[in-house]
Chains A and B, each alone.
Chain A
Amino acid sequence: MLLNVQDVEIAYNRIKVLWGVTLCVGEGEIVSLLGANGAGKSTLLKGIMGIAPLHRGSISFLEKDVSKKRPWEKAKMGVAYIPEGGRVFPDLTVEENLMLIASLHKEAFDVKENLDLVYSLFPVLKERLQQKAGTLSGGERQMLAIGRALMSKPKLLLIDEVSMGLMPKLVSEVFNTLSLLKEYGISILLTEQNVPEALAISDRGYVLENGRITISGNSEELLGNEMVKTSFLGL
């Protein structure tokens, strides 16, 4: 198993937000994390990356316990995280945003190969290399955020609401791109408000309610689930 989350609890200022969450992501899988606003989806991704400290439970990546590892250590092991809103570095240029990670860990990454992959997925970025990331359009910024994460050739990509602020056409484009990543051996755990689109590219999914996982299953099962239908699909 690539990622194993066991019985994880996370609290902010002693207020528990996640209660005994258990999930897993296998090699080559795309897994969706669904849930209403405030359910704890972003918190779970932060916990996996190591930005939010675990209160209880454990996380293993590639069969190694990484519960106590700092974010940068996990990044070097092959976990990449795209936070809500992308959060590219606004004062750095597109090129600097992309090259930063590869240049800091030259021994670990094949810069050229990764850059080629990013350019082939997002040709727009190539035209904007010298532009400050802060001046990119919302959609371009999301692409840069994905591209930046891919520069480390991660094994696992954690994505928080990649479609936020994108027009519908772009949303499907971005989802298409994500499903392509499978071929490069990249597994994905993503949170998404666009439930049908997310499930369309996912193998499996989990539903998070008030910090607990209440439903899990493969995408078809979830699409057929009464609760999912009423809460997320508006059927």
Chain B
Amino acid sequence: MTFGYILSIATFASIYAILILGLNILTGYTKQVSLGHAAFFAIGAYTQALLITKAGLTFWSALPLTILLSMIIGVVMGLPSLRVSDDFLVLTTIGLNFIVMGITEYFDFFGGAMGIIGITMPTIGGKSIGTTGYFLITLSFLLLTICICYLFSKTWGRLAMEATGEDEDAAQSLGINTSIYKMYAFALSSTFTGLAGVLWAHSIGSVFPRNFSFEMSVLFLSMLVFGGLGTIRGAVFGAFVLYILPEFFRFIENYRMLVYGGMLAMIVILQPNGILGRGGLLDRCILRLVKKKAETQEIS
């Protein structure tokens, strides 16, 4: 196993962690289940790809534009959530995958089935940064995302989102404008997911419609549910574990959908809060360890 290989795995795992943190805001906090995050991911990646290859912008100058557009499209795509019930929202988000895949495949502007190639690595001070440099950039963005998510989790905004997710009627009668909070959640969620798309596009160097299939959306939801809905640590943990495991056990690759789908079902039944979520398997183990340590310290 070469250093370059490990570096590339770490880079992709960090990118997915950013994405899952974004999904967590929508599905973890407001409980709006999305099976369409591959579409938001695609929007970030394609926008960046077009801005770089067609408009000739650089990584840094295209980034804010892409982020802004991701946020706007997130809000627009979130509008149906104000009208339909939660179950139908899932169907709507599933539809997003096919709409985005269809559009990117059939319009030449988006490169069609041939995709867009030649998305160059970012440069700093005119110098190419190489894979190590790119990993560091990705890691910085992950840390930044974690910081923002952490700060946000300490605000009343997060509580209003959770209240909206837990009981919309009760939240409304307490004076919470649930429509606004649902839209905030979509905006934040698609922003981080778009950022993940940007980082992914540069890292691969090309984008194709099939990179953003419905399967990917299932994988994303599995990552979040596996790690623990509604927690930052769970989101990061789920993304890392579920991305890295198949890399080491290549044979899983062929049964990916079976494994992820089966796991999603199992987790929902056996560990509804996720492995590292509140009261999850690992969470309890860690709590017990911490307690034991505290006890032994007290004795000694």
Binding site for B on A (CB under 8 A): 46, 49-51, 70-72, 74-76, 80-81, 83, 87-92, 96, 99-101, 103-105, 148-149, 152
Contact = CB atoms under 8 A, between A and B. Distances in A.
Interface in B206-264: 230
A201 to B, nearest CB: 23
Nearest to B273: A91
B156 A104 contact: yes
A92 B278 CA distance: 12
12 contacts: A72-B175, A72-B176, A72-B177, A75-B174, A83-B170, A87-B170, A91-B162, A91-B230, A100-B176, A101-B176, A103-B156, A104-B156
Interface string B138-172: 00000000000000000010011011001101111
A56 B230 CA distance: 41
A71 B169 contact: yes
B159 A72 contact: no
Contacts of A100: 156, 159-160, 163, 174, 176
Contact of A75 (B156, B159, B175): B175
B178 interface: yes
Q: Which 7 A-B pairs have the closest CB atoms?
A: A75-B175, A71-B172, A81-B173, A103-B156, A87-B170, A72-B177, A101-B174
B170 to A, nearest CB: 4
Contacts of B175: 72, 75-76, 101, 104-105, 152
Contact of B159 (A46, A70, A88, A92): A92
A92 B162 contact: yes
Contacts of B178: 72
A154 to B, nearest CB: 10
A74 B167 CA distance: 18
B64 to A, nearest CB: 30
B204 to A, nearest CB: 38
A49 B156 contact: no
A25 B143 CA distance: 55
Contacts of A49: 173
A52 to B, nearest CB: 10
Given A100-B156, A103-B156, A90 B166 contact: yes
Contacts of A88: 170
Given A46-B169, A76-B175, A100-B176, 5 more contacts: A70-B177, A74-B173, A83-B173, A101-B176, A104-B176
A133 to B, nearest CB: 10
A76 B171 CA distance: 13
A92 B166 CA distance: 10
B163 A71 contact: no
Given A92-B159, A104-B156, A80 B166 contact: no
Residue among B162, B173, B230 having the largest count of chain A Cβ atoms under 10 Å: B173
Interface size class of B (residues with CB under 8 A): 10 to 19
A25 to B, nearest CB: 17
Given A91-B162, A100-B160, A100-B163, A80 B173 contact: yes
Nearest to B167: A87
Interface string B176-191: 1110000000000000
A228 B176 CA distance: 39
A83 B169 contact: yes
Contacts of A70: 172, 177
A173 B158 CA distance: 35
Contacts of A148: 174
A130 B174 CA distance: 20
Given A96-B159, A100-B159, A104-B160, A71 B166 contact: no
Contacts of A149: 174
Contacts of A87: 167, 169-170
A104 B156 CA distance: 7
Given A51-B173, A81-B173, A104-B176, A89 B156 contact: no
Nearest to B173: A81
B173 A92 contact: no
Contacts of B177: 70, 72
B174 A51 contact: no
Contacts of A80: 173-174
A46 B175 CA distance: 14
A75 B163 CA distance: 15
B166 A91 contact: yes
Contact of A89 (B162, B173, B230): B162
Contacts of A51: 169, 172-173
A90 B170 CA distance: 12
A192 B198 CA distance: 58
B1 to A, nearest CB: 41
Nearest to A80: B173
A92 B163 contact: yes
Nearest to A88: B170
Nearest to A70: B172
B168 to A, nearest CB: 9
Interface in B119-134: none
